[in-house]
């Protein structure tokens, strides 16, 4: 039959309470939590659940949620097992084509054709994707052998394919650092990691255990200015950059290599969010959310890297449970939307999530934010009008490490103004 | 003998210097007790968790991710990866299943880090 939108010939119609879009760590945790009190459908584009975790075979996940260090596959296995034991309807290899504000979802897979799902609440958990060569405009020819770090990770850890012999890595994001070690252990050679910023993009732990352990040099304030090669990468030119990140003439150096790996950042994947017409935050590239992870459209929630890129999957699991819990709650009793308090990014703060607060359900609210520049001995100050409601001295703050502040219900209830300002003042 | 390293105990990432003069070890640059312990461990017996993959026959995927159940000496990481390249396993596998016992005499076992169903 023709679907209600008349744009698709719908072969299967379904109804449910909560539909979760994306089966990575955010979607898994949200679906599980929602399923405690609601009927849940989980839609995943890929062949299996887990999102990026099955290819992140290294250790370093779960320190907060499980109080032990797990690998990516182990972390996702826990949630996948739980989902299998639950009554969540899981559809893998299923792509969502459209969502409208009335919460009608059009999705497709090869077994069922076109599905129309009428749902009462939605959790968006599509995650993020990597920035590619064309988004950072690296000059040069277009040969084979230019990969994003995540693609090279998938090739090596899932498909068993070595993407090159001699690697140059552009960008020092965590996946790039992790892959530097992986290339070496799989018999490759890594000439160096080149980072355009004056400080590394990844966590210190990864700089030490992935680069220093294997004597891989890290060149800060450097970038790739040319890619050479006709069919296959034959080499790249690197150069130093000045403070405005412009390459400095005379500092160019040619490096023969057959593979250039890009670890130059992640972008939340929000095509569906934009299509629905959700209010977006230009600084996070994600939808604006309140402390219950509800977006600007009531009954549509978002969590994980689709909202903003997290450093740790543990944080994702925590906010995803909040999203799942409130999606189920919305289905039963609707969520109250009282006065709206905006969170504002002040001095040395790039963004604050959630962007606004408007409920009374949570016992405490965690604010997540990133600083713009590294400071030692700075003070985090959260204020409402003239009144300081929270103050904490930080040994160090840096852009790659998200800062968290927990505000108690007592503090929040005492707020009189409708603006909560986050500043990171002082420090060197 | 002298050595420098970055401490990974907290985000401060102190640059720690270690001077060895005969029996005496002098550690400078750290800001806390944890940093000192980290530096001592790193010069006496540095250890790492090993993670890699082994080929799996008849599985949903062609590789099984594995890890060491304890930390292994850092200088044996590469040798262990080479040793594991000689091993292959058969699906089905459960997360935590033993893949290689007492690898290279380290008294550390290599275990599966996910389930792998049969194809």
Q: Which chain B residues are closer than 8 Å to A208 by Cβ?
A: 5-6, 8
Q: Which chain B residues are closer than 8 Å to A401 by Cβ?
A: 11
CB-based contact B8 A208, cutoff 8 Å: yes
Are B87 and B106 spatial neighbours (Cβ–Cβ below 8 Å)? no
Distance CA A281, CA A283 (A): 5
Nearest to A212 among B6, B52, B67 (CB): B6
Closest CA to A305 of A279, A275, A269, A273: A269
- Please report which confidence band the pLDDT of residue B86 belongs to, taking 50, 70 and 90 as the band edges: very high
A19 token code pair: 């539909």
User: Looking at the domain assignment, is residue B6 inside a domain?
Assistant: yes
Residues B78 and B59 in one domain: yes
Which positions ≥6 away from A275 have C-beta within 8 Å? A98, A99
Can you give the CATH number for the domain in which B96 is found?
A: 3.10.530.10
Q: Which chain B residues are closer than 8 Å to A160 by Cβ?
A: 53, 55, 62-63
pLDDT at A339: 73
Chains A, B: CB contacts within 8 A come to: 75
Its CATH class, for the domain covering A338-428, is mainly beta
User: Looking at the domain assignment, is residue B119 inside a domain?
Assistant: no
pLDDT at B106: 95
Give the relative orientation of helices A25-35 and A72-85 as an angle to the nearest 10 degrees.
30
Q: Where does residue A34 rank: exposed (0-12), middle (13-18), buried (19+ CB within 10 A)?
A: buried
Residues B74 and B22 in one domain: no
Residues B104 and B70 in one domain: yes
Residues B37 and B59 in one domain: no
Closest CA to A403 of A326, A355, A351: A351
Please state the CATH superfamily assignment of the domain spanning residues A1-129+267-335 in this structure.
FAD/NAD(P)-binding domain (3.50.50.60)
Closest CA to A44 of A21, A17, A26, A72: A21
Distance CA A75, CA A77 (A): 6
B67 near A CB under 8 A: yes
Asked if residue B113 has pLDDT above 90, the reply is yes
Distance from CA of A104 to the nearest CA of B (A): 33
C-alpha separations of A404 from A139, A283, A353, A394 in Å: 39, 18, 10, 11
Residues B99 and B60 in one domain: yes
Distance CA A301, CA A307 (A): 10
Strand pairing category for A146-148 and A259-262: parallel
**Spans of chain A, pLDDT less than 50:** none
Residues B63 and B39 in one domain: no
Residues B70 and B98 in one domain: yes
Q: Which chain A residues are closer than 8 Å to B51 by Cβ?
A: 57-59, 71
A406 near B CB under 8 A: no
Nearest to A396 among B11, B49, B114 (CB): B11
Please state whether the peptide bond connecting residue B92 to the residue before it is cis, i.e. omega within 30 degrees of 0.
yes
SS3 state of residue A13: strand
* Contact residues, B window 20-59, toward A, CB-based 8 Å cutoff: 48-49, 51-53, 55
A158 near B CB under 8 A: yes
Residues B35 and B12 in one domain: yes
Are A405 and A390 spatial neighbours (Cβ–Cβ below 8 Å)? yes
SS3 state of residue A357: strand
CB-based contact A204 B6, cutoff 8 Å: yes
A13 near B CB under 8 A: no
Total residues belonging to chain B = 119
Strand pairing category for B98-100 and B110-112: antiparallel
Residues B29 and B64 in one domain: no
Give the relative orientation of helices A313-333 and A25-35 as an angle to the nearest 10 degrees.
40
Domain containing B71: what range?
Answer: 51-112
Are A71 and B65 spatial neighbours (Cβ–Cβ below 8 Å)? yes
Q: Which residue has the higher pLDDT, B13 or A172?
A: A172
A140 token code pair: 């040069």
pLDDT at A2: 63
C-alpha separations of A295 from A56, A123, A352 in Å: 29, 10, 15
Q: Which chain A residues are closer than 8 Å to B14 by Cβ?
A: none
C-alpha separations of A95 from A99, A164, A175, A272, B105 in Å: 12, 31, 26, 11, 48
Looking at domain A132-264, which CATH architecture does it have? 3-Layer(bba) Sandwich (3.50)
Q: Into how many domains does chain B fold?
A: 2
Q: Could you give the ipTM of this predicted complex?
A: 0.92
Distance from CA of A367 to the nearest CA of B (A): 19
Share the mean pLDDT of chain B: 93
Closest CA to A29 of A82, A71, A89: A82
SS3 state of residue A163: coil
User: Looking at the domain assignment, is residue B118 inside a domain?
Assistant: no
pLDDT at B24: 85
Residues B39 and B88 in one domain: no
According to CATH, where is 3.50.50.60 located in chain A?
Answer: 1-129+267-335, 132-264
Closest CA to B84 of A378, A185, A324: A185
How remote is the C-alpha of A6 from its chain's centroid? Answer: 34
pLDDT at A11: 87
């Amino acid at each position: 039959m023709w679907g209600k939108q008349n744009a698709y010939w719908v072969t299967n119609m379904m109804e449910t309470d909560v539909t979760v879009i994306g089966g990575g760590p955010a979607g898994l945790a949200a679906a599980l939590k929602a399923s405690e009190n609601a009927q849940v459908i989980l839609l995943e584009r890929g062949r299996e659940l887990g999102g990026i975790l099955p290819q992140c075979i290294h250790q370093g996940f779960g320190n907060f949620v499980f109080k032990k260090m797990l690998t990516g596959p182990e972390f996702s296995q826990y949630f996948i097992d739980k989902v299998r034991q639950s009554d969540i309807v899981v559809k893998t290899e299923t792509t969502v084509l459209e969502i409208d504000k009335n919460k009608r979802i059009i999705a497709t897979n090869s077994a069922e054709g076109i599905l129309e799902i009428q749902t009462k609440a939605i959790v968006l958990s599509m995650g993020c994707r990597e920035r590619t060569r064309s988004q950072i405009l690296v000059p040069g020819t277009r040969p084979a052998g230019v990969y994003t770090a995540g693609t090279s990770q998938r090739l090596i850890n899932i498909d068993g394919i070595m993407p090159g012999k001699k690697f140059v890595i552009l960008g020092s994001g965590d996946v790039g650092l992790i892959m530097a070690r992986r290339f070496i252990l799989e018999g490759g050679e890594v000439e160096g990691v080149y980072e355009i910023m004056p400080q590394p993009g990844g966590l210190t732990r990864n700089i030490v255990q992935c680069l220093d352990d294997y004597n891989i040099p890290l060149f800060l304030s450097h970038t790739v200015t040319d890619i050479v090669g006709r069919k296959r990468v034959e080499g790249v030119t690197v150069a130093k950059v000045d403070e405005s990140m412009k390459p400095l003439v005379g500092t160019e150096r040619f490096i023969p290599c057959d593979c250039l790996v890009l670890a130059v950042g992640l972008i939340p994947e929000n095509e569906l969010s934009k299509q629905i017409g959700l209010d977006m935050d230009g600084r996070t590239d994600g939808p604006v959310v309140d402390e219950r992870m509800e977006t600007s459209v009531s009954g549509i929630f978002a969590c994980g890297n689709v909202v903003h890129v997290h450093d740790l999957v543990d944080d994702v699991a925590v906010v995803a449970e909040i999203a799942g819990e409130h999606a189920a709650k919305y289905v039963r009793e609707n969520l109250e939307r009282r006065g709206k308090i905006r969170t504002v990014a002040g001095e040395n703060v790039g963004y604050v999530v959630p962007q606004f607060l408007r409920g009374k359900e949570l016992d405490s609210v965690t604010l997540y934010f990133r600083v713009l520049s590294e400071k030692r001995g700075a003070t985090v100050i959260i204020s409402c009008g003239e009144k300081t409601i929270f103050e904490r001295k930080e040994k160090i703050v840096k852009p790659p490490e998200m800062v968290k502040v927990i505000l108690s219900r007592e503090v929040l209830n005492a707020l009189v103004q409708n603006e909560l300002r986050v500043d990171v003042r002082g420090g060197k | 003998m002298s050595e420098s390293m970055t401490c990974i105990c907290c985000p401060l990432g102190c640059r720690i210097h270690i001077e060895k003069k005969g029996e005496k070890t002098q550690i400078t640059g750290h800001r806390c007790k944890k940093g000192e312990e980290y530096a001592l461990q790193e010069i006496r017996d540095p250890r790492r968790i090993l993670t890699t993959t082994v080929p799996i026959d008849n599985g949903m995927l062609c590789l099984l991710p594995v890890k060491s159940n304890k930390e292994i000496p850092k200088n044996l990481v590469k040798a262990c990866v080479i040793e594991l390249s000689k091993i292959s396993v058969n699906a089905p596998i459960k997360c935590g299943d033993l893949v290689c016992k007492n690898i290279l005499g380290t008294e550390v076992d290599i275990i599966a880090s996910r389930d792998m169903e049969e194809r």
